[in-house]
Copies of this chain bind each other. A is one copy, B any other.
Amino acid sequence: MNCLYGLGVGTGNPELITLKALRILQSVSVIAYPASETGNSFARSIVAEFLQDNQIEIPIVLPFKLEKSAQPFYDKASEQLAEHLNSGRDVAVLCEGDPFFYGSFMYIYDRLSPKFDTEIIPGISSVMASAAMIGIPLTYRNDVFMVVSGILSEEVLKEKLKVADAAVIIKLGKNFNKVKQVLEELGLIERAKYIENATRENQKILSINEVEAETVPYFSLIVIPSQYDFRF
């Protein structure tokens, strides 16, 4: 029975994909992945060394500047993948990090899972990978852990983060200065750590005050580790 796979490929280091993701990656005849208009695909670059010569590749291209909704692009991509599935081919969609955790794969999944067999292979999330790379335990015992997006307003970010014992702030980019202001107001500047390109060769870990706001990539993140003290 042919199947649509959502394949978590982790955060950038090819060694951080799972044995299962590798097996499925090398067994399917069609591989799809998000790509830019210039053809670059971060997800594909992670697993490039594992791809087979005879595999059909389908870039899912989103324009850099979206005039309206991205949804028509997912309609089109889903139709393309459905054709392959209807022709009896297995299709794997490569997903940075984990497929169901803030991923764009879900737009494909929502459209195709009612019609086709689907299987999700979980991946290493940037949340866990970043804490590992920074070298600070993220959450202990009964900590409340939170992930928030830097796109949220200053007021909302402040209100949400107050509730958590440990947190990760994703989607930084041009939201960095706003997020930094929030961390300052909450007294979290010293505790928080900034990381970009986690697990990749160009990985960078900085304290918040060292970061140059204008250089911050969208996919960098800030980790606010638990303050738990094990010496109780």
Any chain B CB within 8 A of the CB of A160? Answer: yes
A20 closest partner in B (C-beta):
B15
The listed residue (B6, B133, B140, B152) touching A106 by CB distance below 8 A is B140
- Counted per complex, copies of this chain come to 2
Q: Which of A56-64, A119-127, A179-187, A200-208 contacts B (4 or more CB under 8 A)?
A: A119-127
**Is A87 part of the contact surface with B, judged by Cβ < 8 Å?**
no
- Count A interface residues, CB 8 Å: 64
Given A122-B16, A124-B18: A164 in contact with B137 (beta carbons within 8 A): no
Query: A197 at interface (Cβ–Cβ under 8 A)?
Result: no
**Other A-B pairs, 17, CB within 8 Å; known A15-B18, A100-B132, A100-B139:** A18-B19, A18-B124, A69-B232, A71-B230, A98-B132, A101-B128, A106-B137, A120-B135, A125-B125, A125-B128, A142-B151, A142-B152, A144-B152, A146-B147, A146-B164, A159-B163, A163-B163
